[in-house]
């Protein structure tokens, strides 16, 4: 399962609508489930598709503290593998039969690239709303415990009063690199102990 967090003013419905608009056509079918804070989009091969094998993928989009978190499930590729196997068997029996299966082979190759296409649509939709995978403004600065002035993360001392900022610095998860808030015991991204 692959996961990305986008920071900014973006809602799960923004990504869900972009995925529906892109993948609910041709040989693919898309549908969404859920409400505004958590949505699931299922992208799969249309049941009556004329070419290619069956495949499906689930995208989970949920509201996060500074934006949204998107998780891409594992692609069901058994139908695509079966279709490619049929093409290979047909080619062994009669090499000229490949000409009749070119549409199936092209569709199967396109279906194998489904996860990359989904991430492209998600990235493009996030960029159009101004969101990105960069740290949010809240995580880029920290407040001095003594005078309350905001300072950039990583500064050793407060720019206003000179107080040390060591205890205020955020920690990152050793497993995935996600920035944790002070006091967090578990990583919000990978659920490992900090």
Q: Please tell me the pTM assigned to this model.
A: 0.63
Q: Give the helix/strand (H/E) hosting 72.
A: strand 67-72
Q: Which of 58, 70, 61 has the alpha carbon at shortest distance from 133?
A: 70
Run means of pLDDT, 10 residues per run, the chain, 194 residues: 83 92 86 89 75 75 86 69 63 68 58 80 89 68 84 84 82 73 77 82
Q: Which pLDDT belongs to residue 84?
A: 56
Residue 105 burial (C-beta neighbours within 10 Å; 0-12, 13-18, 19+) = middle
User: What is the rounded distance in angstroms from the CA atom of residue 20 to the CA atom of residue 16?
Assistant: 6
Q: What's residue 104's pLDDT? A: 58
Question: What pLDDT score was predicted for residue 21?
Answer: 92
Fold exhibited by the domain 2-128: Alpha-D-Glucose-1,6-Bisphosphate; Chain A, domain 4 (3.30.530)
If we measure between CA atoms, which residue out of 123, 134, 2 comes closest to residue 57?
Answer: 2
- Domain segments of the chain: what residues? 2-128, 137-180
Angle at 29 between CA 5 and CA 130, to 5 degrees: 30
Q: How confident is the model at residue 19, as a pLDDT?
A: 93
């Amino acid at each position: 399962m692959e996961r990305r967090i986008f920071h900014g003013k973006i809602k799960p419905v923004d990504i869900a609508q972009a995925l529906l608009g892109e993948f609910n056509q041709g040989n693919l079918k898309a549908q969404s489930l859920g409400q505004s804070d958590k949505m699931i989009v299922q992208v799969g091969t249309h049941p009556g598709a004329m070419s290619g094998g069956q495949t499906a993928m689930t995208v989970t989009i949920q509201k996060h503290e500074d934006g949204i978190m998107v998780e891409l499930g594992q692609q069901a590729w058994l139908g695509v593998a079966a279709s490619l196997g049929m093409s290979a068997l047909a080619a062994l029996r009669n090499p000229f039969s490949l000409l009749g299966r070119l549409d199936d082979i092209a569709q199967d190759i396109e279906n194998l690239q489904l996860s990359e296409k989904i991430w492209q649509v998600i990235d493009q939709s996030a960029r159009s709303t101004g969101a990105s995978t960069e740290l949010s403004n809240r995580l880029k600065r920290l407040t001095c415990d003594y005078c309350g002035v905001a300072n950039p993360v990583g500064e050793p001392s407060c720019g206003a009063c000179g107080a040390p900022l060591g205890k205020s610095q955020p920690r990152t998860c050793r497993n995935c690199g996600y920035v944790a808030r002070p006091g967090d015991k578990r990583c919000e991204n990978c659920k490992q102990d900090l």
